[in-house]
């Protein structure tokens, strides 16, 4: 049976997971340079070893509230194919292996209401539910352009 590993993190007391194959690295928060006239959920950019990475506050994107930085806050650098972004999360808790029997695909009516959220499904781990994300599906064409422009 096919198994995948997910980096599990928290936003707003909910657990989310991203396939570990898409996670480049997890770093401590650092100075974020704010960009003028950018989308509300784009926090700005960071310089990570000479590479400019746009930073997105997923809590702001999904829940409308800004992530408060504290000792557990992390930035997950995610590979979206031809570009990378950093996402600010409340904390990173674990790497979890899930097989296909533990993953439920969301009903189509839920996916319609959550278009461009990047929701891929829900992982069932004992008594926990982990919302699985595919961030390559989370941004509209216009949002992708703004994120890409931030790195040029």
| 18-39 residue pLDDT tens | 999 999 999 999 999 998 877 7
Provide CB contacts within 8 A for 152, sequence distance 6+: none
Name the token pair of 125: 């781990």
Q: Is the predicted pLDDT of residue 115 greater than 70, yes or no?
A: no
Mean pLDDT of 36-64: 89
* 72: containing domain: 21-151
Q: Domains in the chain: how many in total?
A: 1
Q: What is the pTM of this model?
A: 0.89
Sequential DSSP letters for 12-61? TTEEEEEEGGGEEEEE-----B--TT--TTEEEEEEETTEEEEEEEHHHH
Name the token pair of 151: 């790195």
8 Å CB contact between 42 and 144: no
d(CA 59, CA 40): 11
Q: Is residue 7 part of a domain?
A: no
Mean pLDDT of 83-95: 94
Question: What was the pLDDT predicted at 38?
Answer: 79
Considering only residues 9 and 82, tell me which one the structure prediction assigns the higher pLDDT: 9
CATH of the domain at 33: 2.40.50.180
d(CA 40, CA 38): 6
Q: Is residue 14 part of a domain?
A: no
Mean pLDDT of 133-142: 81
Q: Is residue 1 part of a domain?
A: no
């Amino acid at each position: 049976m096919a198994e995948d590993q997910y980096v599990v993190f928290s936003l707003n007391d909910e657990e989310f997971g991203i396939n570990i194959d898409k996670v480049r690295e997890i770093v401590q928060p650092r100075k974020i340079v704010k960009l003028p006239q950018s989308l509300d959920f784009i926090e700005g950019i960071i310089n990570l070893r000479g590479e400019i990475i746009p930073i997105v506050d997923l809590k702001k994107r999904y829940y409308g509230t800004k992530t408060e930085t504290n000792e557990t806050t992390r930035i997950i650098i995610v590979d979206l194919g031809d570009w990378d972004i950093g996402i600010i999360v409340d904390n990173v808790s674990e790497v979890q292996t899930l097989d296909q029997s533990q993953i439920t695909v969301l009903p189509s009516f839920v996916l319609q209401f959550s278009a461009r959220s990047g929701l891929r499904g829900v992982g069932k781990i004992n008594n926990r539910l982990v919302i699985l994300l595919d961030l390559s599906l989370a941004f509209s064409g216009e949002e992708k352009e703004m994120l890409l422009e931030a790195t040029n």
